[in-house]
Homo-oligomer: A and B are copies of this chain.
Amino acid sequence: MRCKKCGATAAIHMRQHKLALCEMHYVDWFQAQTERFIGKYRMFAREERVLIAVSGGKDSLALWDVLLALGYEADGLYIDLGINGGLDYSKQSLARIEGFLAGREGGSLHVVDIAGVYGATVPEAARLTRRGRAKPCAVCGLVKRHVMNRVARDGGYDVLATGHNLDDEAAVLFGNTLNWQLGYLARQAPVLPASADGLARKVKPFFRFYERETAAYALVRGIDYLYEECPFSVGATSIRHKMTLNLMETDSPGLKLQFYLGFLRAKEAGALAGMAEARPVMEPCERCGQPTTAGVVCAFCRLWEARRSGDER
């Protein structure tokens, strides 16, 4: 395989695009594609300030790398969830992010240590809730959403970006479609506009890249990222869905991309318009002020109140 641009030995071949590229031209292509997606889906403008949720994995570090290379003002947010899992997972993640930053100019990092701020790690807090007892994933998602939104708002950022790639998004869409989760389908999008009631705009600039494409970019750029998945993700439905989609992709190159883009087109055509009504009403939480569908006190604040009353027992 030869690079389509220069004829040198190709470093990556993307079957779904019928495109092979050498390392140098792959980096150019990947950055230009990201710029194109940011514009095409109106994610953010040149002068807007971007907060990237970074985990220490390939996707979020690659996203930070690309946005800085493209000249955006992009800072990072690392949420230390206090996950150990026998490999000091959260500490290792932070070390990768610090290593990434050490080698470059521009971009500062916010670190929120959940145990330090709220008095317990996410696995500890999850043990108190019924749905968190087996796995802390639901509680973890709740905590991350709240903290990302708070830091974006308090820091005056225009937009919150995450590194979700096509494999992530297609797996979520696949799960929501298998269950016809209309409320979730209505809200799944590469851009969620800021809401009047206080939710930051959320964007996913990598949503059209395959996971192997973001991994290849991180590799070529020499980004030292954490390979391990979160230890709690073992057996997750989303991982099963990714495997199923990968099996289908092998038979039909481009299937994942067509599936996701077809969904966006169907939505845009108004074909799924009835779903919007499934969207629940949001009210500000009495404690933290963030919008919630859960009544007067949001699930995040209730979590920590339950935790405190548990401590008192």
Contacts and interface: CB of A to CB of B under 8 A. Distances in A.
Q: From DSSP, what is the main secondary structure of chain A's interface residues?
A: helix
Given A270-B274, A271-B278, A258 B179 contact: yes
Nearest to A177: B177
B275 A182 contact: no
Interface string A224-242: 0000000000000000100
Interface in A277-312: 277-278
A17 to B, nearest CB: 19
A263 interface: yes
Interface stretch (A50-58, A121-129, A207-215, A244-252): A244-252
A178 interface: yes
Chain copies in complex: 2
A265 interface: yes
A198 interface: no
Contact of A273 (B248, B269, B273): B273
Contacts of A248: 178, 240, 244
Given A244-B244, A271-B274, A265 B180 contact: yes
Given A180-B262, A180-B265, A251-B240, A271 B272 contact: yes
Given A240-B251, A247-B244, A259 B178 contact: yes
A32 interface: no
A271 B262 CA distance: 17
A8 interface: no
A255 interface: yes
A266 B182 contact: yes
A239 B259 CA distance: 19
Contact of A180 (B178, B255, B263): B263
Contacts of A240: 248, 251
A275 B269 CA distance: 9
A310 to B, nearest CB: 33
Contacts of A271: 180, 182, 272, 274-275, 277-278
A182 to B, nearest CB: 5
A269 B182 contact: yes
Interface of A: 177-180, 182, 240, 244, 247-248, 251, 255, 258-259, 262-263, 265-266, 269-275, 277-278
15 contacts: A178-B248, A178-B258, A178-B259, A178-B262, A179-B259, A180-B259, A180-B263, A180-B265, A182-B266, A182-B269, A240-B248, A244-B248, A269-B274, A270-B277, A271-B274
